[in-house]
């Protein structure tokens, strides 16, 4: 019954998809492959993939892509792993389906998976190693069901989604890669709690600011300019900025480092700042105020204290740039995902976040970020875990699979 209803829903969105037998066989394969998918999830989680060091996990994904028979399997110049499943119309704009290789955890964090009943515990397992395993399950199911899609599906295990990776993998795909002209729609799978559709990209601008000064002895040079004062004024001034309220806009002073010793006026203080909004206009406004504030704080400190050995200065360095935007709620990609999620009993709520979809969304390419699996919790924490209870896990993977098939049959 579920397959029949789902096929009707998909056919109403994309008439070319009327393949009930193919979908039924693919669904059966996803269920039968439960143990294989969980085993691959464990295997991949235990291959560390800290920021900027995703090579080993990427190499294993490349091996698996080749073993599955994807065409044109390659690891590009930044480390993205790419494989293509051809569609019927090779000239049509392709669907790109991605999951990121990297986790937030540094190399010294153990990634051994611990199983307790239907729960798997390990750093990075839910964000988002579970969806790497899902990509492999999708390909096996399509092949088992002989599912034919109208257009190519470009499967990608990409680098650089987390933190200061700054979306570098997907950014490369859409700016430098030869594939950039081939992509018509984009789905990022990130996390294992199925139900939400991220169609709005929360943009961010992140700065590391180097506040510099002449330094000196805290007692003997008392009265000289101090870069820490300019830093402190910048932080306190930032929190006097009135954040726009029409679209949620945020800012944060995040990290501080520097100084020489407790009895020294510092000659260098480094501070990091984060600004976010789904509105490009709001983000630009807050960023402009922040940059002006730095100049004002530096000038105030140079006016307040002795500059005979040199003035305080500040050098802002942009260390993160994630563009904002949205895929309209009535876009066929969004509506197809919503219909399928609702048919599966999920909420299908639209939401905003910062994900790999930011890049294509900012370029006007329809994109969403979804999840695949049986649920996960405590992302970015050492006690991160996912639920692999067979019923919930297979249902979540199958629902995600159906969205991919539907999207690959959208005609633009």
Grouping H, G, I as helix, E, B as strand and the rest as coil, residue 248 is: coil
Angle at 318 between CA 314 and CA 319, to 5 degrees: 120
Average pLDDT over the chain reads: 95
Q: What integer pLDDT is reported at residue 159 of this predicted model?
A: 98
Q: What is the average per-residue pLDDT within 17-37?
A: 91
22 sits in the region (left: phi over 0; alpha: psi -120 to 50; else beta) called alpha
pLDDT per position as a tens digit, 164-222: 899 999 999 999 999 999 999 999 999 999 999 999 999 999 999 999 999 999 999 99
Please tell us whether the domain made up of 203-322 is placed in CATH 3.40.366.30: no
* pLDDT reported for residue 10: 45
| Architecture (CATH level 2) of domain 2-201+324-407 | 3-Layer(aba) Sandwich (3.40)
**Separation of alpha carbons 131 and 258, rounded Å:** 39
Each domain of the chain, given as residue ranges in start order, spans: 2-201+324-407, 203-322
Output the CA–CA distances (angstroms, integers) from residue 291 to 204, 237, 275, in the order listed.
15, 11, 12
Q: In the numeric block, which tokens belong to residue 147?
A: 């599912």
Closest CA to 259 of 309, 215, 315, 308: 215
* pLDDT for 12 beyond 60: no
Residue 280 pLDDT > 50: yes
Q: Can you tell me which residue has the tokens 């009327």? A: 18
- Indicate the pTM of the whole model: 0.92
Tokens of 295: 């100049």
Residues contacting 263, CB < 8 A, separation 6+: 217, 218, 219
**For residue 243, is pLDDT > 80?**
yes
Does the pLDDT at position 331 exceed 80? yes
The answer for residues whose C-beta is within 8 angstroms of residue 359's C-beta and 6 or more apart is 167, 170, 171, 173, 174, 323
Q: How far apart are the first and last CA of the chain?
A: 30
Q: Quick one: which H or E segment has residue 132?
A: helix 130-144
pLDDT at 16: 43
Residues 6 or more apart whose Cβ sits within 8 Å of residue 225 = 213, 214, 301, 302, 304, 305, 306, 307, 310, 311, 312
72: its two tokens:
């044109």
CA distances from 386 to 31, 35, 178, 200, 354 (A): 18, 15, 36, 25, 21
Position 15 pLDDT exceeds 50: no
* Contact criterion met (CB below 8 Å) for 127 and 103: yes
Name, in order, each residue with C-beta under 8 angstroms of 237's C-beta and a sequence gap of 6 or more. 293, 296, 297
User: Element (H or E) spanning 153, and its range?
Assistant: strand 153-158
- What is the structure's pLDDT at 19? 80
């Amino acid at each position: 019954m579920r397959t029949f209803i789902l096929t009707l829903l998909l056919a109403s969105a994309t008439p070319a998809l009327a393949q009930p037998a193919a979908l039924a066989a693919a669904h059966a394969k996803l269920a039968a492959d439960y143990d294989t998918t969980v085993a691959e999830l464990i295997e991949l989680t235990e291959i560390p993939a800290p920021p900027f060091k995703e090579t080993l996990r990427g190499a294993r994904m490349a091996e698996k892509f080749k073993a599955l028979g994807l065409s044109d399997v390659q690891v590009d110049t930044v480390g993205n792993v790419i494989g293509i499943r051809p569609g019927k119309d090779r000239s049509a704009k392709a669907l790109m389906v991605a999951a990121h290789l990297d986790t937030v955890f540094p190399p010294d964090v153990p990634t051994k998976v611990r199983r307790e009943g239907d729960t798997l515990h390990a750093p990075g397992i839910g964000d988002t190693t579970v969806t790497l395993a899902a990509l492999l399950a999708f390909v096996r199911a399509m092949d088992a069901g002989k599912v034919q899609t109208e257009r190519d599906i470009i499967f990608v295990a990409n680098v650089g989604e987390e933190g200061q990776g700054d979306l570098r993998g997907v950014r490369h795909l859409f700016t430098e890669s030869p594939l950039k002209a081939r992509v018509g729609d984009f789905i990022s799978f990130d996390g294992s709690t199925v139900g939400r559709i991220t169609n709005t990209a929360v943009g961010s601008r992140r700065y590391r600011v180097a506040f510099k000064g002449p330094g000196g002895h805290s007692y003997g040079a008392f009265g000289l300019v101090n870069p820490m004062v300019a830093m402190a004024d910048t932080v306190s001034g930032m929190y006097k900025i009135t954040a726009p309220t029409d679209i949620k806009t945020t800012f944060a002073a995040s990290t501080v480092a520097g100084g020489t010793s407790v009895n020294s006026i510092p000659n260098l203080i480094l501070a990091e700042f984060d600004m976010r909004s789904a509105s490009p206009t709001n983000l630009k406004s807050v960023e402009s105020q922040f940059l002006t504030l730095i100049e004002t704080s530096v000038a105030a400190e140079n006016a307040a204290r002795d500059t005979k050995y040199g003035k305080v200065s500040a050098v802002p360095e942009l260390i993160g740039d994630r563009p904002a935007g949205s895929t309209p709620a009535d876009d066929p990609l969004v509506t197809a995902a919503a219909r399928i999620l609702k048919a599966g009993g999920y909420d299908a709520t639209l939401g905003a976040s910062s994900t790999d979809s930011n890049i294509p969304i900012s370029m006007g390419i329809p994109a969403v970020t979804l999840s695949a699996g049986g649920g996960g919790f405590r992302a970015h924490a050492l006690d991160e875990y996912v639920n692999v209870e067979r019923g919930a896990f297979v249902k979540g993977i199958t629902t995600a699979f159906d969205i991919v098939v539907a999207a690959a049959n959208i005609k633009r």
